[in-house]
Amino acid sequence: MLCDKFRNFTRMVIYQIYPRSFMDTNGDGIGDLQGIISKLDYIQDLGANAVWLCPCFKSPNDDNGYDVSDYMDIMDEFGTMEDMDRLIAELHARGMKLILDLVPNHTSTSHKWFQESRKGRDNPYSDFYYWFDEKPNNWRSAFKGDAWEFDEVRGQYYLHTFAVSQADLNWENPAVVKAMQDVVDFWVAKGVDGFRIDVIDCISKDFAAGKNGFGPRLHEFIRDLFGRENVSHIFTVGEGAVKDIDELVRHCGPDRNELSTLFLFDHMDCGRSDKFTPMDDSMKSLKDILLRWQMENDRHGMLHSLFYDNHDQPAMLSRIGNDRELRYESATGLATMLYLLKGVPFIYQGQEIGQTAAHYDNIEDFDDIECLGWYREFLQKYTPEEALEKVNFGSRDNARHPMCWDGSEKCGFTTGTPWLLPHSRSAEINVEADLASDKSIYRFYQDLLKLRARNDAFLDGDTEVISGEYEEYVIYTRTLGDEKWAVICNFEKTSLIRLPFSCEAPALTNLGRPTAGGVYKPYECAVCRVR
């Protein structure tokens, strides 16, 4: 059973927006806050009641906002603080919540704190970052290359877990903890309802053990941020590298006073042997991971973050589904399998219209600092064509192309030149075309989210897996009191599905199936009340 705080959070449906690519209203080819405001009805009509914005703070955009130069001001390209205030007011007027993306592990080297810190060893910011005369270890950057950069001004090396211009903050310094607490309090005072916290596990390092993350003070630092009374009401979702249940409980246990939930990434490796190499896979392996974490979260009274896609990952639909002939079937089947589980649903922009992984013909068309670093390394082992193919598969630009509002040349995203090339299939896959289709994925999501919101069994009920371990389909039930629902999702093959109980006619199907049992087509699904 969930504690009241977590139980309330299961009523949220969070729509993730990559602001740079969502909607441009001033013709500069870059999405902005006014553009988001103009689309709030679209988001609310889908059935989402909260919005998670990727970083909007001032940034030179080396890592598109994850390199913050001022946590308390808005990135020039996205608009002004007045725009942000208006966005908060417009969301709250609709009863919707705003989740901001907090980046506590590092700042841009153009942040005032870094610019002061590099000046010397005796100013208030000198110890805001990790400075060493010599490299203390051989840590590598997540974006390839050395994680230590020599700064000519300071005459020492500093740590950057990510890009050279993303300097890691030294959380061992109480002034850093206080500065980040002030950032959280500033935005909570403005009405922000929660945070997604970037690479939360990195904020505590263990130099002695050679670990850049999961250090001995990690949970102390998380509580320093979110265990305080004045922020005890907000929603927090950490982005972490947690793999085992004990560590998850330390982060999100109901009595830990730390995070509301955590993104778990095991299922991100479905359909790939590594981030840039595809691998044949199936909905079964995805189902196994999702249901394992569903039962573990449930056992510990924790919230399961229910997501497939985000701004760092190519679409699950393209990796596990059939994003061509069965795009509607697999998009709707995947959604049904995931979003009727217990937890907090996250929908990434475009997922609701069956958006697929993007494809670009030239390496010059890519923007993502991570994939460009990898491309240079790939060239040492592969031909340019092979390297481009790997980047097309794993690049984060896959998910960062402009939102496709219509089938026009600029997708209805901008009147200017889009900062990143539009999706190669935007003429076929866009909001306007989807809503005009009799197989609308948006409308299916609407029906799915309505069914979920109107039946407490999907919000609070117990989950039980009914289907066998090796079946090429999944049947799970959600039960609360005398209310019991069966969720039936077929995987890639045609299956004969017999149910161990009798059901009413389906309340939701993706292919119009009139009865719950019988022969299911690939990706066919049905949701039925159990008699």
Catalytic residues: 198, 239
Note whether 28 binds Ca ion by CB under 5 A. yes
Is 77 or 352 the residue whose CB approaches Ca ion more closely?
Answer: 77
Nearest to 349 by CA among 12, 19, 6, 88: 19
From 370, 397, 434, 460, residue interacting with ligand TEU (rule: CB under 6 A): 370
The entry of Ca ion, ligand TEU, none that residue 258 binds, CB within 5 to 8 Å by partner kind: none
Q: Is residue 367 part of the contact set for ligand TEU (CB under 6 A)? A: no
Contact flag: residue 30 with Ca ion (CB under 5 A)? yes
| CB closer to Ca ion out of 49 and 61 | 61
H helix and E strand count, the chain: 16, 24
Q: Indicate the residue whose CB is closest to ligand TEU.
A: 66
80 binds Ca ion, rule: CB under 5 A: no
- By CB under 6 A, the count of residues binding ligand TEU is 13
Q: Does 63 bind ligand TEU (CB under 6 A)?
A: yes
Which of ligand TEU, Ca ion, none does residue 162 bind (CB under 5 to 8 Å by kind)? ligand TEU
Q: Mind spelling out the 3-state secondary structure of 343-403?
A: CEEEEECCHHHCCCCCCCCCHHHCCCHHHHHHHHHHCCCCCHHHHHHHHHHHCHHHHCCCC
Q: Given the structure tokens 């919230």, which residue do they identify?
A: 303
Binding partner of residue 30 among ligand TEU, Ca ion, none, CB cut-off 5 to 8 Å per kind: Ca ion
Choice between 13 and 36, CB closer to Ca ion: 36
28 binds, among Ca ion, ligand TEU, none (CB under 5 to 8 A by kind): Ca ion
Instruction: List, in order, residues 6 or more apart from 174 with CB less than 8 Å away.
Output: none
From ligand TEU, Ca ion, none, which one binds at residue 24 (CB under 5 to 8 Å depending on kind)?
Ca ion
Q: Which is nearer to ligand TEU, 111 or 484 (CB)?
A: 111
Least distance between Ca ion and beta carbon 423 (Å): 19
For residue 312, CA distances in Å to 36, 70, 95, 218, 372 come to: 20, 23, 29, 24, 14
Pairing assessment for the beta strands 473-480 and 462-465 based on DSSP bridges: antiparallel
| Residue 312 makes contact with ligand TEU by CB under 6 A | yes
| Residue 24 touching Ca ion (CB under 5 A) | yes
Task: Please give the residues from 258 up to 287 whose contact with ligand TEU meets the rule CB under 6 A.
Answer: 275
Question: Judging by beta carbons within 10 Å of its beta carbon (0-12, 13-18, 19+), is residue 438 exposed, middle or buried?
Answer: exposed
Residue 374: CB atoms within 10 Å: 19
32 binds ligand TEU (CB under 6 A): no
DSSP 68: -
Q: Would you say 56 or 103 has its CB closer to ligand TEU?
A: 103
Minimal distance, residue 520 CB to ligand TEU, in Å: 34
Residue with tokens 């491309």: 375
Task: Tell me whether residue 394 or residue 402 sits nearer to Ca ion (CB atom).
Answer: 402
Q: Which of ligand TEU, Ca ion, none has residue 32 at its interface (CB below 5 to 8 Å by kind)? A: Ca ion
> Is residue 219 part of the contact set for ligand TEU (CB under 6 A)?
no
**Minimal distance, residue 103 CB to ligand TEU, in Å:** 6
| DSSP letter for each residue of 163-225 | -TTEEEB-TTSHHHHHHHHHHHHHHHHTT--EEEETTGGGGS-BTTTTBSSS-TTHHHHHHHH
What DSSP assignment string belongs to 94-111?
TT-EEEEEE--SEEETTS
Q: Minimum distance between the CB of residue 311 and ligand TEU, rounded to whole angstroms?
A: 6
Using CB distances below 5 to 8 A depending on partner kind, what does residue 275 bind out of Ca ion, ligand TEU, none?
ligand TEU
Between 32 and 198, CB nearer to ligand TEU: 198
How far apart CA 278 and CA 467 sit, in angstroms, is 28
Question: Judged by CB under 5 A, which stretch of 17-25, 229-237, 241-249, 452-460 contacts Ca ion?
Answer: 17-25
Q: How far are the Cα atoms of 133, 135, 209, 320, 433 from residue 155, in angstroms, in the given order?
A: 7, 12, 26, 49, 57
In the complex, the residues that contact ligand TEU under the rule CB under 6 A are 63, 66, 103, 142, 162, 198-199, 239, 275, 311-312, 370, 396
